[in-house]
Structure 1
Amino acid sequence: MRVVIQRSKEASVTVDGEIVGQINHGLVLLVGVTHEDTEKDVDFVADKIANLRIFEDEDGKMNHSVLDVGGQILSISQFTLYGDCRKGRRPNFMSAARPEQAEPLYEQLNQKLRDKGLHVETGRFGKMMDVRLLNHGPVTLIVESPVAAGEKE
């Protein structure tokens, strides 16, 4: 599982001209799922996201998590995170999980974040979405589960 995390002052996602998810202060997640991902990967990524210290304390140091600052989450499914651009001019998406595998894992991630006490808004899985955000910092990081990062258990 691969997640691009962007610290945001505000963000929204629109489908067919309608805002379907919107947050104020928090994190925007672009979530990609690959074939080997399991619930174990979801657990790893959810824990990492909830506890990642990327918000400033009173001294301007990144010492607080999204939980610490009462932030919100806007989670967007993003199969293109597994686009392989090494050959040719058109990305190859063979590493992205099929929707029937990816959607349940994406939904599990969102639920696990909610279970940790976070307010989670989402886009619409498999739909064309327009995402707006005000990236604060800017702070953009990539979190990968051990399988996605090529690590062996």
Structure 2
Amino acid sequence: MRSVVQRVARASVTVAGEVTGAIEGPGLLALVGVTHTDTAAEAAAMARKLWTLRLLPGELSCSDIGAPLLVVSQFTLYGDARKGRRPTWQAAAPGPVAEPLVDAVVAELRALGATVGTGVFGAEMAVELTNEGPFTVIVEVDNRAAAAAQ
């Protein structure tokens, strides 16, 4: 599982003219991608990582100050553009695999006490944000890391 995480002052996602999720920061926007081998263990590990990652001002985490997160599914994080001019999406998990795992990240964050906004899986979304810093990192959780975190 892979996530591009941005520290934000505010962020929102709109689908068909309706805001489906929004946060006022400081907080984190997490674009989350799922690959074929990901499981519920990776989803739980990703949620814990996002909740405790010290990216906020003063090296604080969302868990330290109750900062909100906006989680948006993003299959293109597993795009491969190394060959040719058209990316392939073969490493991205199909919707029936990916959607429940993105939902599991959100559910686990909420179980940890987070306030979480979301997009709509598979929808054409408009994401707006004010990046603070700018501060952007890539977080990856795989089977080995997920097992070690348990």
The alignment's TM-score, normalised by the length of structure 2, stands at: 0.93
Aligned to 2:120: 124
Quote the offset at 1:147 in angstroms.
4.2
Aligned to 2:62: 66
The 2-side partners of 1:96 and 1:148 are apart by 19
Aligned to 1:7: 7
The 1-side partners of 2:72 and 2:55 are apart by 20
Quote the offset at 1:146 in angstroms.
2.5
Q: Name the count of aligned residue pairs.
A: 147
Task: From the superposition, tell whether residues 78 and 70 of structure 1 become closer, same or farther in structure 2 (CA, over 3 Å).
Answer: same
SS state at 2:129 partner: strand
Aligned to 2:29: 28
In structure 2, the gaps of 5 or more residues are none
Quote the offset at 1:47 in angstroms.
1.1
Stretches of 4+ aligned residues off by more than 6 angstroms: none
Q: CA RMSD, aligned part only?
A: 1.8
Residue 82 of structure 1, aligned match among 78, 85, 88:
78
Aligned to 1:137: 133
Q: Deviations over 1:36-57 (max 9, x none)?
A: 0011111211111111111223
Say if 1:4 and 1:143, in contact at 8 Å, map to a contact too: yes
The 2-side partners of 1:4 and 1:18 are apart by 24
The 1-side partners of 2:70 and 2:41 are apart by 22
SS state at 1:68 partner: helix
In structure 1, the gaps of 5 or more residues are none
The 2-side partners of 1:55 and 1:79 are apart by 26
Say if 2:33 and 2:74, in contact at 8 Å, map to a contact too: yes
The 2-side partners of 1:148 and 1:104 are apart by 21
